[in-house]
Amino acid sequence: MADEHDPQRLEELRRRLEALQKKLEIVTNKETRAEVRYEIAKIQWQLGLISDEEFHQIEEFYESFTYEWC
């Protein structure tokens, strides 16, 4: 998770999260949407917005989803 004592890092993560959420609104490709959703989850986890368990569930789904493309 993000170092809660580093406001600059937290602000960077928040800006990145906002940009990815906007990107998700316009992306239609399934593979790209999955990647963006996974990146969003990583940032939410780093910011403490989702639990470790929620993140690992998302991570497992993403990995199983991307495995199908190979």
Q: What is the pLDDT of residues 18-59, one digit of tens each?
A: 999 999 999 999 889 989 999 999 999 999 999 999 999 999
pLDDT number for residue 56: 95
pLDDT number for residue 4: 62
pTM: 0.84
What one-letter code names the amino acid at 4?
E
State the sign of the Cα–Cα–Cα–Cα dihedral 25, 28, 32, 34: positive
**What is the domain partition of the chain in residue ranges?**
7-67
Q: Is the pLDDT of residue 12 over 80?
A: yes
- 3-class DSSP state of 32: helix
Cα(37)–Cα(5) distance, integer angstroms: 26
Cα(27)–Cα(23) distance, integer angstroms: 6
